[in-house]
Amino acid sequence: MSADTSGSGYVEAEYSRDSKYISDRITSDGSSRWPVEPGRYRLVIARACPWANRSVIVRRLLGLEDAISMGMCGPTHDERSWTFDLDPDGRDPVLGYERLQEAFLARDPEYSRGITVPAMVDVPSGAVVTNNFPQITLDLSTQWTAHHREGAPDLYPEHLRDEMDEVMERVYQEVNNGVYRCGFSGSQRAYDKAYDRLFTTLDWLSERLESQRFLMGGQITEADVRLFTTLARFDTVYHGHFKCNRQKLSEMPVLWAYARDLFQTPGFGDTIDFPQIKEHYYVVHADINPTQIIPKGPDTSGWLLPHDREQLGERPFGDGTPPGPPPPAEQVPADHGPGGIPHR
């Protein structure tokens, strides 16, 4: 919280995210204790979480499913940890854990910070390597290149990195984290400030995307992945639950068409599980929604409407190709897609 210096004694109560992650990296050049090694690591995610959703998309676009296995937690958690309650016996079949917390304690028995997804876990030791979600996806692009699928896109092009980093930082601060800043504001003043920052940036993004298909131009990059996971949750949870209600995404023409374009691209929309997203936010955030009632709406069938963004560019993967379908065990249930309609 920050103190008001205007003389009123008012405390602004601005939301601040804990970003003290385990910062180890898995590298290909021997610069860390964790070498790139297919089959050694397990990516633990929850479909409900936007930060984890990034890593699911990037892993899929790059074709790393055979090199890095994936464990899935359920959409809700208690004060201790995410749990593997989606697995038949409530245990991750590879790690043998009931709770993700066990992997963090295997790394540090005194670990006392947040148990977060995504987390990369070293299978032989059962210990978390890192939960630093922004770095995880960049390393999938830059350190695992020897194991990318044929036709994998370059999601972090070297010649665009300086500008990309600036765009992604603004997207993170004002949109990805901005919706949380609105939802968890502790005062009217903090909320009003967060709301204005969020929609100022959404307007800036609309202007940027009016004349180019993707954030960095004519092809998909990591920047689009990072923005997409927030947009995919906007009308379903952030508009109402987090009071981000100047407009729905579906009422912002450019961003809505851009989001549908990505949703209908293999590797994006087929990672989105709307029921799990709603269950997570409306049940876990009991301080915001004390009844824990999960709304029946909104209608999500609009995600499959034509977007007409092809006129701005016809090579979303650049010189690469779209990924194939996800492995059967990783497919979102057909009735969890847009409007209960199976993903195309």
Which CATH code fits 158-340? 1.20.1050.10
Are 159 and 74 in contact by the 8 Å Cβ rule? The answer is no
User: Is 80 exceeded by the pLDDT of residue 341?
Assistant: no
List the domain boundaries for the chain.
26-147, 158-340
Say if 26-147 and 158-340 have the same CATH topology. Answer: no
For the chain, what is the largest distance between any 2 Cα atoms, rounded to a whole number of angstroms? 62
116 φ/ψ angles, rounded to the nearest 5 degrees: -120, 155
**3-class SS letters over the chain:** CCECCCCCCCECCCCCCCCCCCECCEECCCCCCEECCCCCEEEEEECCCHHHHHHHHHHHHHCCCCCCEEEEECCCECCCCEECCCCCCCCCCCCCCCECHHHHHHHCCCCCCCCCCCEEEECCCCEEEECCHHHHHHHHHHCCHHHCCCCCCCCCCHHHHHHHHHHHHHHHHHHHCHHHHHHCCCCHHHHHHHHHHHHHHHHHHHHHHCCCCECCECCCCHHHHHHHHHHHHHHHHHHHHCCCCCCCHHHCHHHHHHHHHHHCCCCCHHHCCHHHHHHHHHHHCCCCCCCCCCCCCCCCHHHHCCCCHHHHCCCCCCCCCCCCCCCHHHCCCHHHCHHHCCCC
> 21, 41, 180, 191: which is the annotated catalytic residue?
180
Q: Annotated catalytic, 49?
A: yes
Q: What integer best gives the mean pLDDT of the chain?
A: 94
> 49, 73, 182, 244: which is the annotated catalytic residue?
49
pLDDT of residue 12: 54
pLDDT of residue 3: 29
pLDDT of residue 340: 63
Would you say 82 is a known binding-site residue? Answer: yes
Q: Annotated catalytic, 180?
A: yes
pLDDT tens-place string over residues 3-36: 222 233 333 588 888 778 999 999 999 899 999 9
User: Is 70 exceeded by the pLDDT of residue 76?
Assistant: yes
Domain 26-147, CATH number (from 3.40.50.970, 3.40.50.300, 3.30.70.260, 3.40.30.10)? 3.40.30.10
Peptide bond into 298 cis (omega under 30): yes
pLDDT tens-place string over residues 292-337: 999 999 999 999 999 999 999 999 999 999 999 999 999 999 999 9
